[in-house]
Amino acid sequence: ILARVWLAGVIAVWGYTLFSWLRTRALLSTAVRKGSIREGWWWESDRIPTAFVFGVIRPRVYVPAGLEGENLRWVRIHEESHIELGHSRCKLIYFLIMGVHWFNPAARLLAERLDRDCELYCDQTVARNWDRSRRARYGELLLRLAAGGKGKPSTALFSQKQRLEERLTAMMNGKTYGK
């Protein structure tokens, strides 16, 4: 009976992950490609509250509509760092592992730690040689994106408050992290 409970958990976790991936893919179907060969490509959508990378084989940077200037540049550097470092492939592997180890709290903690370290390293990549005032402006951008960009709250602001606070503190203090 334990094997059946375990298998039901695996199917539930992987099923939910697949459902979420398909829902996000549908949400991004109206995204518009922006950029050029020289500056790189990204996709813009008015249906997303924050920027992220989506895809494993051909990961793409998606940004909310309305980002421009230095804010767009900073977001693109951060998200392109995820692509260069292969974070999409790492996350695919840990989603597969999380499905098999859905019952194990240590696996959940390791997955959260991996996600945390990926974000901290990419923030560090963006703000590596900046002065404090420029880091503060980047921090304001992160807060605005966490709030949904246009003032409407996103889940990131509520469920990830501590992680966002840690990212801002590490960035303002110039703390360094490994790849």
**pTM given for the model:** 0.85
In the chain, beta strands by DSSP E: 32-36, 40-45, 52-54, 60-64
Q: Quote the CA–CA distance of 132 and 172 in Å, as a whole number.
A: 7
Q: What 8-state DSSP symbol labels residue 99? A: H
Q: What are 26-77's pLDDT values in tens digits?
A: 999 999 999 988 888 999 999 999 899 999 999 999 999 999 999 999 999 9
Residue with tokens 């005032």: 133
5-24: per-residue pLDDT in tens?
999 999 999 999 999 999 99
Q: What is the per-residue pLDDT for 155? A: 41
